Amino acid sequence: MTDIVTVSIACANDAEAQTIARLLVEQCLAGCVQFHPIHSTYIWQGAVESAAEIMLTAKTVTAKLPAIEAAVMAVHSYDVPEILAQPVVWCSESYAAWLHNVLEG
């Protein structure tokens, strides 16, 4: 296992997703951020809600997670944004080297 993780962040729309993705990359908190259109069904304030969203997948390392949470919370439109980290079990040596280099700034 590596120290590399992927972080999923659900965004309200493309503009918010673009803002967050750019912020994470510019601050060297993520090496790459991908966008995925999704549709979510969830409970919010006691009611079942449904919405089109943009899911971001950011590639980073565990040491950056607290800073990622702080950066996302500072600009996200949701009161409780989805910020989930998943460990990467394996990664090519070349990608891992590139990612670590990029995240060092």
Whether 1 shows a pLDDT value over 80: the answer reads: no
d(CA 41, CA 58): 22
Whether 78 shows a pLDDT value over 80: the answer reads: yes
Backbone φ/ψ region at 102: left (φ over 0), alpha (ψ -120 to 50), beta: alpha
Q: Are 68 and 29 in contact, with CB atoms under 8 Å apart?
A: yes
pLDDT at 2: 86
Average pLDDT for 76-104: 98
- Can you tell me which residue has the tokens 């009611």? 47
**Prediction pTM value:** 0.95
CATH of the domain at 63: 3.30.70.120
Strand, helix or coil for residue 2: coil
- Number of domains comprising the chain: 1
Domain ranges, residue 96: 4-103
